[in-house]
């Protein structure tokens, strides 16, 4: 049970992406915000500047959906693992913490591909590729794999990086078409390592 008595009725809350484990933001909750978060499964903070409850995403639509939560050993700090609907930071960044690059962008790319599957549009390359069937998707993975090997042996580092990026992108599309995710592959690789 959270102890709200230590810091004037507020506890710090770290929000972490449930899939990538990236730290998205830090906020504060009072007991009312904590109860609302548990009831609605959307992260709600107590805004110290506005002096009111504030559900992340109430204006932007970029809600943080609670997947799990963990109370620290002193019962005065909360870790929430959430699924973000979009950027978390008010600046439009995925996280409020700036890093050199998003080391978890492959998961973000997977989310983008999943969105293209769920909400197809004629302008989407993923949608056009899918409309040609799994054989074409698999063929593209094969083509990109060959181009990656050729680039590794005979082309510049930039060309190699570009071809490797194309290969990973098309592989993510193929995984989704087959009903699998990067998490499936990561777990399989992890089990092989043990």
Asked if 34 and 2 touch (Cβ cutoff 8 Å), the reply is yes
- Span 68-83, pLDDT tens digits: 999 999 999 999 999 9
Q: Are strands 78-84 and 11-17 parallel, antiparallel or unpaired?
A: parallel
User: What pTM, to 2 d.p., does this model score?
Assistant: 0.64
78-84, strands of its sheet edge to edge: 23-29, 11-17, 78-84, 64-71
pLDDT of residue 97: 86
pLDDT of residue 98: 77
pLDDT of residue 25: 95
Provide the H-helix boundaries in 27-156. Answer: 31-40, 105-118, 125-131, 134-154
CA distances (Å), origin 133, targets 118, 125, 152 = 16, 13, 29
pLDDT of residue 179: 95
Give the chain's residues under pLDDT 70.
99-103
CATH architecture of 9-82: Roll (3.10)
Q: Which residues in the chain are classed under CATH 3.10.20.810?
A: 9-82
Strand runs labelled E in the chain: 11-17, 23-29, 44-47, 52-55, 64-71, 78-84
Q: Which CATH number applies to 102-191?
A: 1.10.287.1080
- Span 32-75, pLDDT tens digits: 999 999 999 999 999 999 999 999 999 999 999 999 999 999 99
């Amino acid at each position: 049970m959270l102890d709200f008595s230590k810091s004037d009725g507020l506890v710090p809350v770290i929000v972490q992406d449930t899939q990538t484990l990236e730290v998205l933001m830090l906020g504060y909750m009072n007991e009312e915000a904590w109860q609302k978060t548990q009831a609605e499964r959307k992260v709600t903070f107590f805004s110290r500047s506005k002096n009111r409850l504030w559900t992340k995403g109430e204006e932007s639509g970029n809600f943080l959906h609670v997947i799990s939560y963990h109370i620290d050993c002193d019962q005065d700090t909360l870790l929430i693992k959430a699924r973000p609907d979009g950027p978390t930071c008010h600046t439009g960044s995925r996280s409020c913490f700036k890093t050199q690059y998003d080391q978890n962008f492959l998961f973000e790319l997977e989310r983008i591909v999943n969105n293209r599957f769920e909400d197809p549009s004629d302008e989407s390359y993923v949608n056009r590729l899918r409309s040609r069937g799994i054989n074409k998707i698999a063929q593209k993975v094969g083509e990109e794999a060959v181009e990656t090997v050729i680039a590794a042996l005979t082309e510049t580092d930039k060309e190699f990086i570009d071809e490797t990026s194309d290969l990973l992108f098309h592989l993510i599309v193929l995984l989704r078409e087959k009903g699998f995710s990067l998490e499936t592959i990561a777990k399989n690789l992890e089990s092989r390592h043990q």
